[in-house]
Structure 1
Amino acid sequence: MPPADSDQVLVEANGVTRTLVLNRPKQLNALSSEMITCFLRCFTAYEEDDGVKLLIVKGKGRAFCAGGDVAAVVRSINNDSWKYGAHFFRNEFLLNYIIATYSKPQVSLLTGIVMGGGAGVSIHGRFRVVTDSTVFAMPETALGLFPDIGASYFLSRLPGFYGEYVGLTGVRLDAAEMLACGLATHFVSSDIREGRTQTVGECLRREYRMVCHVMRGDFSRDFFEGCRAILLDRDRNPKWMPPRLEEVHDEVVEKYFSKVDDPEWEDLDLPPRRSHGRRLVPKL
């Protein structure tokens, strides 16, 4: 496994899976020349490695990737070095091509901002997973440029004139719009993944609130009905209330995360631990 040259790209190995993490959260993971070089090396090496079957790309922080680091390109041009910009885009476009023609599946977890160069390292891949926090755009025209990174390929394949609309206006799309037009392939609610950004203590405190509401039967008695049907009467025919998932409303679910309305109830009190840094990192 080729290691990253710097901490701008983190490489995680889990069995046959390799995860590349864009790690410039303060810059919204804007693609630097260093990051592009690292991606090129990793994608090239993993394609030849029979021990690697799947690549995952994600960003650290509130953005997947806000685009290429064009500020660095402009600074170089102002210093009479236009060739730096040409070299930057040459490598970026080469990376886009390798991803678009890659022989192994790539999953891009598009949480938060996905713009410009961020689209280039994700949209060309096989699977693009969006969440309710995803914001997609091709904003190059606002910078006096044009939608690059192979956008003339994937935008031209969107339904009707939607690609022209996205490319010319720089409009921001949400997850539902990305799914509808084909820019995304799958949707996962970001709430489901909330525990990934929390400590084990925070997760246990939240779950303690939830289980206390369940024990009290505050909003539902499905737990008691499930135990009756499986463990007590064993008829394996629970009568859920409501009977269908689509009848479960968000406002009821949210109540499970609230404090319990009982003067004697307290949140889960966990003692401080010296060895709190070790954590299990969930993998796809």
Structure 2
Amino acid sequence: LSLSQVLFEENSWIRKVILNRPTKLNSLSFHMVSQMLKKLKEYEKDSRVKLVILKGNGRAFCAGGDCATLIHFCTTGHWSFGASFFRKQYTLDYVLATHDKTLVSLIDGVVMGGGAGLSMNAKFRVVTEKAVFAMPEAILGVFPDVGASYFLSKLPGYFGEYLGLTGARLDGAEMVACGLATHFVFSKDLPSLEKELDGVNSTDPTVVSKVINKFIEASSIKSTSAFKRMDIINKCFSRKTVEEILSALENEARNGANIWIAAAIKSMKAASPTSLKIFLKSIREGRGQDIDQCLIREFRMISHVMRKTVNNDFYKGCRAIFFDKDKQPRWELSKLELVSSELVNQYFTKVDDDDWEDLQLDARFSEANLIRAKL
């Protein structure tokens, strides 16, 4: 009997969406995304539903999209399989970001890539001491997507650039400090918190907030955390180009490096130069855009990646990490200076294919949107 990859629990006014591929760190399949999209749309229409809880079984919330399967389908079939997976995934991220019910993400473990797209758009994002956040896409030859150019660009200073360009990992305390998470709770207290949330019969976020606040713990970030050095982050990551960011970091490293600076340099040098450049342009555009504009733009970018119109780095990255596991991707353009701005701009243009359409997101007049419109 095949177990469901997503479980849906429904009681009176609470709905739970539980990712259930623990052996695969709950990585997202096409099937999971489709099921969640269908259910979340149903919950919106159901006036009985007051609260939706998102969580993952096992030691991860969700480690991202199932890239290995995606690449397999694209190489044995057609690139549009990948594009249709992302079309559905981005639509789901948008529905979550604009949902008119109160959403609570319980993050007790790994949350990366596509998992961030699911959880970062919830009003309440509860993390524990086991939480690990990262957007390591550039190491795979792709770029932080799923709305990352929106939610990372809203972090303090240039911390979003730092996370997206280096793929650096954050723990739960750091997630709360920088604003990616709203509350810190001990892992052992999550079952009790969930039990109390089951009793919330109100759409009022302050009621939910009061329940979560009973369980929150003070969390302090380590002295070695990069977030403690926002002065250096802003100085380096505010630069115009990836080359300038890297050389600013190398200058800092010469002035007596913090451990995190050396790690940042190392991971940027291992990442796809093309990925770094398209992400930097993406997050800079995202600063002035809404979530829907960011997702529509990222969909164009990811479609070019799937179609290999500009280069083949995503396929090369996946070969090195998932298939041959030699961790030695041979990037098509191996140096930053080989990646021209003309090449970068190609990722942001409409895909020239008869069967292809831009991502269509319906205008959703949820309370969230109306509140935003008033701000």
> For residues 1-284 of structure 1, what are the structure 2 equivalents within 5 Å?
7-193=4-190
- CA-CA distance at 1:128 after TM superposition: 0.4
Could you give the per-residue CA deviations for residues 137-170 of structure 1, whole angstroms, max 9, x where no partner exists? 0010110000000000010110011000000000
Which runs of 5 or more structure 1 residues have no equivalent in the other structure?
197-245, 247-284
Q: Which has the higher contact order (CA 8 A, sep 6+)?
A: 2
Correspondence for 2:277: none
Q: Decide which structure has the larger Cα Rg and report it.
A: 1
Shift of 1:194: 7.3
Amino acid of the structure 1 residue aligned with 2:161: E
Deviation of the 1:193 alpha carbon: 4.0
Q: Which secondary structure does the structure 2 equivalent of 1:121 belong to? A: helix
Query: For 2:66 and 2:146, how far apart are their aligned partners in 1?
Result: 13
Question: 1:138 corresponds to which letter in structure 2?
Answer: M
Q: Aligned-pair distance for 1:77?
A: 1.7
Rounded to whole Å, the distance in 2 between the matches of 1:192 and 1:152 is 33
Alignment RMSD, CA only? 1.8
Distance in 1 separating the partners of 2:52 and 2:191: 22
The structural deviation recorded for 1:195 is: 8.6
Q: CA deviation at 1:192?
A: 2.6
Amino acid in structure 1 at the alignment position of 2:115: G
Structure 2 residue matching 1:136: 3-state secondary structure: strand
TM-score by length of 2: 0.50
TM-score by length of 1: 0.66
Q: 1:180–1:73: structure 2 CA closer, same or farther, 3 Å change rule?
A: same
Q: Give me the whole-angstrom Cα distance separating, in 1, the residues matched to 2:190 and 2:149.
A: 33
Report the counterpart of residue 203 of structure 1 in structure 2: none
Between the aligned partners of 2:16 and 2:101, the Cα distance in structure 1 is: 13
One-letter identity of the residue aligned with 1:103: D
2:72 counterpart SS class: helix
Deviation at 1:63, TM superposition (A): 0.5
Query: What is the identity percentage for the equivalent residue pairs of Structure 1 and Structure 2?
Result: 55
